[in-house]
Amino acid sequence: MLVFFHGAGASGTDDLRPTWEYLFGPYPELFPLRKRKALNRRDFTVLIPQLDLSGGYDDRVYVCAVRELAEQVAEEVSADPDRIYCAGHSRGGCCTWLSAYLFPDFYACAMPLMGSLYLPELPAPLTKEALEHMKDIPVWAAHSADDPVVAIDRDDETVAVLRELGAPVKYTRVDGKGHRHLVSYFLKTEPWVEWMFSQKRQNR
């Protein structure tokens, strides 16, 4: 099962909007999500939990609620509990990082695109002690150096610390893709589907 965190633009209470816009709607950068043959050949569930900004939720409350929902849905659809993945872009990328940080023993892997790991209590700069507990979860982050919305600096820092810890982290760092076009570039050019489905929590 893939838990997919949408960007801030799909927030609301209409439920179907993130499903439509981010999988079947007018956003060309996410077109590869539904065109990859490796995805179409598999039977799996995609969970896209919508964030209600008017409800006063911060990202921590949101990802904690999603964690509980994911466990419930996985049981309902008989998903393999060792193969629950999380991914997202923009604000969803931030939520993906946060999910990996808070629940490294729940998700089989995390794929944050254009995200940033931030919590008020995290030290600046990041330390190995702060990320020690998540050194075993496979992470594949992607970011463009010229992203004007979510700065790449925090991704650079987080990936560097995880690598110092020997964590299984991959990093696609490019330039010239801005914020929106990084997603399309990554989904089209990187073997992320094969990487994601190869991850199993029981193997860690």
159: CATH: 3.40.50.1820
Short-list 137, 124, 130, 193, CA closest to 169: 137
Query: Span 66-79, mean pLDDT?
Result: 96
C-alpha span between 1 and 47 (Å, rounded): 7
pLDDT digits (tens, 9 = 90+) for 112-163: 999 999 999 999 999 999 999 999 999 999 999 999 999 999 999 999 999 9
In a domain, 204, yes or no: no
Which residues span the domain enclosing 8?
A: 2-195
In a domain, 146, yes or no: yes
Query: Span 101-111, mean pLDDT?
Result: 98
Query: Span 95-110, mean pLDDT?
Result: 98
In a domain, 186, yes or no: yes
pTM of the model: 0.91
C-alpha span between 13 and 140 (Å, rounded): 30
Four-point Cα dihedral 104, 107, 126, 129, nearest 10: 20
C-beta of residue 50 within 8 angstroms of C-beta of residue 57: no
Domain count for the chain: 1
Between residues 22 and 108, the one the model is more confident about: 108
